C-alpha cells in the first residue's frame, strides 16, 4: 500500500472515532443527565414560574403560575412644549357635537392642512372624518377627539399643559371596560360608556402605547424575581404585549416579597415619584386588583389614553 493510501486510511479512522464520540454525547443528553434549566432573574413587573408557550396561559382562575420576562422601558418626558403656530387657539377637547369659535378654529386648521371640511362653528360628521384622517396621517390615536395631543400637533393648543384626566368619553365600547392613564398614574373601570370606579396605578414610562386592547388572559397567581428577590402577585389580567420584547402586559396587584413586605409602599401607588418603576405592567393596590379581576372578562376592552 502506498504512503498516500495509508494516510487516507488514518484520516478515515479518525473521522469515525469523532462521529462515535458525538453520538455518545447525544445519548447522554437524551438520558436526562444534563443540568436543569436556570430561571433568569429579572427586574420590573415581570412574572416567572412554570414554563408555558409564548402567549400561553393556565386556565383562568386556576392557581397556575405564568412565565413572562421584563419587557423594558424608556423615559419619555420632555421639557419642550410644542409651540402655538396658528392665529387662533382652542382650550378644551373638542368632538362631535361641540360648537363655537374654537370649532371654527379647528376646522380652519384642518382645511389649511389639506383636510376637507366645512368651516363653520359645528363639529359635525365631516369635521369628524377630517380629524380622523389627520390623526391617522400624524400617527396619533384615531378617535375623532381633538384633545391636547392632537391640538398641539396642529399648533392650536392653549389649554392646560398638563395631562387631561380621563372622562366618560375615554371609556371603550365594550359593556365592561377599563382606562389606563399613564400620564396621570390613574386607571378607571367603565360600564356602558360611564366611569364607575377610579384607582391609582404605577406604570412604565413608555408603554403600553395609547390605543384600545382586548383582555386575552387572566391568571390568579404569579411570582416574580425583583432585583434578585422572590415575590408574588395576584389577579394578573393581561391585555397587550410589550413593544420591546413581547412580554405580557397586565393589571396586577403590587408584588409582595416572601417576608410579607410590598415592593413599594402602598401609599406610593399613583404618585409621580414611582412613575416608571414598572417595566410594562400596571401595578394596582390589592383591593383594586380584586375589583379589576372581577370586572374584566376575556374580550373586554382596555383603552390606554396616555
Q: Quick one: pLDDT at residue 68? A: 45
* Whether the bond into 208 is cis, omega within 30 of 0: yes
Determine the topology of domain 168-304 in CATH. Answer: L,D-transpeptidase catalytic domain-like (2.40.440)
Q: Quick one: pLDDT at residue 62? A: 42
Distance in angstroms (rounded) separating the CA atoms of residues 218 and 235: 7
Q: Quick one: pLDDT at residue 197? A: 97
Q: Quick one: pLDDT at residue 177? A: 98
Hey, what's the torsion of the CAs at 299, 224, 179, 205, to 10 degrees? Answer: -130
Give the CA angle between residues 6, 8, 13 to the nearest 5°.
95
Summarised one tens digit per residue, pLDDT across range 84-97 is: 898 999 988 899 99
Distance in angstroms (rounded) separating the CA atoms of residues 109 and 124: 15
Distance in angstroms (rounded) separating the CA atoms of residues 2 and 293: 82
Domain range list for the chain: 82-160, 168-304
Q: Quick one: pLDDT at residue 15? A: 57
Bridge partner residues of 225 (DSSP) = 230
Q: Quick one: pLDDT at residue 30? A: 40
The full DSSP string for 143-192 is: SS-B-HHHHHHHT-B-S-SSPPPP-GGGS-SSSEEEEEETTTTEEEEEET
Which H helix or E strand runs over 203? none
Q: Quick one: pLDDT at residue 146? A: 92
Neighbours of 15 (CB within 10 A): 10
**Order of all β-strands in the sheet with 186-191:** 194-200, 186-191, 176-181, 301-304, 211-214
Which H helix or E strand runs over 18? helix 3-30
**pLDDT one digit per residue (tens) for the chain, 306 residues:** 444 545 545 555 455 545 554 444 444 444 443 333 322 223 333 333 332 322 333 444 444 555 445 677 776 544 456 788 989 999 888 999 999 999 999 999 999 999 999 999 999 999 999 999 999 999 888 889 898 889 999 999 988 776 678 899 899 999 999 999 998 899 999 999 999 999 999 999 989 998 999 999 999 998 777 656 788 899 999 999 998 888 889 999 999 988 999 999 999 999 989 999 988 899 999 999 999 999 999 999 999 988
Determine the topology of domain 82-160 in CATH. Answer: Muramoyl-pentapeptide Carboxypeptidase; domain 1 (1.10.101)
Phi and psi at 178, nearest 5°, equal -145, 160
Q: Quick one: pLDDT at residue 57? A: 39
Q: Grid coordinates representing 270?
A: 399613583
Residue 247 Cα distances to 66, 69, 126, 178, 280, angstroms: 11, 6, 40, 20, 8
* Radius of gyration of the CA atoms of the chain, in A: 27
Q: Quick one: pLDDT at residue 114? A: 95
Per CATH, 82-160 and 168-304 having the same topology is answered no
Q: Quick one: pLDDT at residue 54? A: 29
pTM for this structure? 0.63
Q: Quick one: pLDDT at residue 165? A: 84
Q: Quick one: pLDDT at residue 6? A: 53
Amino acid at each position: 500500500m502506498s504512503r498516500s493510501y495509508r494516510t487516507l486510511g488514518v484520516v478515515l479512522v479518525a473521522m469515525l472515532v469523532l462521529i462515535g464520540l458525538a453520538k455518545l454525547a447525544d445519548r447522554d443528553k437524551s438520558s436526562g443527565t444534563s443540568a436543569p434549566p436556570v430561571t433568569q432573574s429579572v427586574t420590573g413587573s415581570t412574572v416567572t414560574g412554570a414554563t408555558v408557550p409564548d402567549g400561553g396561559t393556565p386556565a383562568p382562575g386556576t392557581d397556575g403560575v405564568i412565565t413572562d420576562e421584563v419587557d423594558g422601558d424608556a423615559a419619555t418626558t420632555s421639557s419642550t412644549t410644542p409651540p402655538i403656530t396658528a392665529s387662533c387657539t382652542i382650550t378644551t377637547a373638542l368632538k362631535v357635537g361641540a360648537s363655537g369659535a374654537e370649532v371654527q378654529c379647528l376646522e380652519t386648521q384642518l382645511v389649511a392642512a389639506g383636510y376637507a371640511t366645512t368651516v363653520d362653528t359645528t363639529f359635525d360628521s365631516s369635521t369628524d372624518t377630517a380629524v380622523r384622517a389627520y390623526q391617522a396621517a400624524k400617527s396619533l390615536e384615531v378617535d375623532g377627539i381633538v384633545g391636547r395631543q392632537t391640538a398641539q400637533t396642529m399648533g392650536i393648543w392653549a389649554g392646560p399643559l398638563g395631562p387631561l384626566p380621563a372622562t366618560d368619553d375615554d371609556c371603550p365600547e365594550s359593556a365592561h371596560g377599563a382606562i389606563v392613564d399613564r400620564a396621570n398614574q390613574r386607571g378607571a373601570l367603565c360600564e356602558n360608556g360611564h366611569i364607575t370606579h377610579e384607582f391609582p396605578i404605577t406604570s412604565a414610562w413608555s408603554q403600553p402605547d395609547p390605543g384600545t386592547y382586548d383582555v386575552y388572559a387572566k391568571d390568579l397567581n404569579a411570582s416574580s424575581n425583583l432585583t434578585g428577590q422572590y415575590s408574588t402577585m395576584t389577579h394578573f389580567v393581561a391585555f397587550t404585549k410589550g413593544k420591546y420584547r413581547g412580554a405580557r402586559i397586565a393589571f396586577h396587584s403590587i408584588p409582595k416579597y416572601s417576608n410579607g413586605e410590598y415592593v413599594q409602599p402602598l401609599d406610593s401607588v399613583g404618585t409621580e415619584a414611582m412613575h416608571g418603576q414598572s417595566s410594562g405592567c400596571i401595578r394596582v393596590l390589592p383591593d383594586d386588583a380584586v375589583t379589576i379581576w372581577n370586572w374584566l372578562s376575556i374580550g373586554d376592552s382596555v383603552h390606554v389614553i396616555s
